[in-house]
Structure 1
Amino acid sequence: MKQRMIARTLALVLFAVSIALQAAAQSVVGKGKTGPAPDPVNLDFTGLFQVKFASVGTDLFIAGQPTEQALRDMKAKGVTTVINLRMPEEMLKVGFDEAALLNELGMKYVHIPMRGTPENPYGPKQLDEFAAALAAADGKVLLHCTVAWRASHIWAAYLIRDRGVPVPTALAQTRSINLRDEAPFGTVQPIEGFLGRSIPELAKPK
C-alpha cells in the first residue's frame, strides 16, 4: 500500500513538472528567450480589435487597434504591458486616450511610433526598443498597431534577429497574422528596415 501511494505521488509530481515545462516552453515574453516560438493562433476580434487578434504562446497577443473594452479584457487576462506602434496623430482618431486608460488600469504603456519616414523609421533602433520592452515585461504583453501589419513585421524581425528563427519560418508564422508582404501598404517592407538588410524570401508585391 505504501509503495503504491509513493508511486502515485511520484506520478502526480512528474505530471505537474511536465505541465510546468510545457507552459514555460510556450512563454515568449521575458529575458533570455531564444529558439522557435509557438505558431500564432487567430482569435475572434469582433467588437474588440480592428481586423486582427492573435495569441502567440501563453503570454503574447498581437492585434490591430484595441477598443476600451478590449484593453479592460486584456487586463483581466493578465496583460501587464501594452506596446503600441501607431503614430500620435493616428491615436487622435481612436476616440479615447489609450495611455490614460492604461495608466488607470495599472498597465505599462510602451509607445514606439513608426511610419517608415526619416523621423519615425522602421529601423534597428525601433526593433531594439521592442525587444527591450518584451524582455522587461513582468506579465503578458499586447502588441498592436492599426491592423497588426507593423506588429507582424516587428514580430517577424524579432524572431529572426533575437530568437534565431529561420527566415522562412518567421515569415510563415507572421503571414498567418497580417504580414501582407505580397501586398504591403506602399512600397516599404518594414521587416527589412528593422533588420537593416533585404529579405529575398519576402513575397513580391502584386
Structure 2
Amino acid sequence: MKPAALCTLLASSLLLGACASRPEPAKTAATPPASAPAAPFLERSLRLDNVLLGPQPGAEDFAAVRARGITRVINLRTPEETATLGFDPAAAAASAGLDYRVLPVPSSGGFSPAVLDAFSAEMAKGGELLLHCGTGARAGQLYAAWLVRERGLSPQEAMQRVAPLGLWPLPMERLLGRPLAIDFAAPAGGDAPQP
C-alpha cells in the first residue's frame, strides 16, 4: 500500500473511531441560547475631552449621562429614525435635566460643510455634551472632522482619536492587513487644501 493511501486510511479509521466512541448527547427540551446583555450605554460610548460620543441612548440612559456631568445632547438621527425608538428622547433628556438638540444627518449622504458649521457652533458654547447617532459612527465622523477643522489635527490623527468607536482602522486596512496614510488631496487649481 502506498504511503499516501495508508495515511488516508489511518486518518479515516481515527475519525470513525472518535465518532463511534463519542456518547450521544442527552435529549433535552430545546432552549433558546442565552443572549449576552448589551453593555451599558456609557461602556459603549467614547469620552474625548468634553464630548461623549456614542450610539442611541435608551430612555433610562439619559440620567446616567447627566450623572457623568453631561449637560447637553446633540442627536444626529433623522426624525424618521427617532420615530422608531418607542420613546421620546427629547422628553427623556429633559426629564434628566439635559438640553436636547437635533442636528439630523441621514446615514447616507447627509454630511456637508453646513452640518460641520452647525456642530462647530454648538461646540463653541462649551460645556459637556453627548453627541450620538444610531451606532456612534456618524457622531465619530463628525467629531473627527471637527478635530481637523477646529483643532488642526491631520485626518489620520483625528480618525485615530475616534478609533475605539470602530471607525479606525478602516475596513480596507483590515482587509489588506496594512495601514493607509490619509491626507487631503490638492484641489484642481493647485491651491493648498483648506480643512
Q: What is the TM-score of this pair, normalised by structure 2?
A: 0.63
Bigger-Rg structure (1/2): 2
- In structure 2, which of residues 172, 182, 186 is the aligned counterpart of residue 201 of structure 1? 182
- In structure 1, which of residues 116, 128, 144 is the aligned counterpart of residue 132 of structure 2? 144
Match status 1:54 vs 2:46: yes
Amino acid of the structure 2 residue aligned with 1:142: L
Deviation at 1:181, TM superposition (A): 7.1
Amino acid of the structure 2 residue aligned with 1:124: P
Match status 1:71 vs 2:62: yes
Deviation at 1:106, TM superposition (A): 2.7
Change (3 A) 1:54 1:100: same
Contact 1:110/1:133 (<8 A) preserved: no
Contact 1:52/1:178 (<8 A) preserved: no
> Hey, what's the Cα distance between the residues in 2 that align with 1:181 and 1:146?
20
Contact 2:46/2:52 (<8 A) preserved: yes
Contact 1:65/1:146 (<8 A) preserved: yes
5 Å-filtered alignment, 1:84-103, equals 84-103=75-94
CA RMSD of aligned residues (A): 2.5
Deviation at 1:77, TM superposition (A): 1.5
- In structure 2, which of residues 93, 97, 114 is the aligned counterpart of residue 125 of structure 1? 114
Contact 1:48/1:69 (<8 A) preserved: no
Deviation at 1:180, TM superposition (A): 5.7
Point out where structure 2 has 5 or more consecutive residues left out of the alignment. Answer: 1-37, 173-180, 184-195
Residue deviations 1:30-89 (CA, integer Å, cap 9, x gap):
xxxxxxxxxxxxxxx71436x9311113x2211011112211111112111001101111
Match status 1:134 vs 2:123: yes
Contact 1:87/1:114 (<8 A) preserved: yes
Question: How many correspondences in the alignment?
Answer: 139
Q: What is the TM-score of this pair, normalised by structure 1?
A: 0.60
Q: After the TM superposition, which parts of structure 1 deviate over 4 Å for at least 4 consecutive aligned residues? A: none
Secondary structure of 1:68's match?
Answer: coil
Point out where structure 1 has 5 or more consecutive residues left out of the alignment. Answer: 1-44, 185-199
Contact 1:62/1:151 (<8 A) preserved: yes
Contact 2:53/2:131 (<8 A) preserved: yes
Q: With a CA cutoff of 8 Å and minimum separation of 6, indicate the structure with the bigger relative contact order.
A: 1
Change (3 A) 1:88 1:181: farther
Amino acid of the structure 1 residue aligned with 2:58: T
Amino acid of the structure 1 residue aligned with 2:73: V
Contact 1:79/1:142 (<8 A) preserved: yes
Contact 2:46/2:164 (<8 A) preserved: no
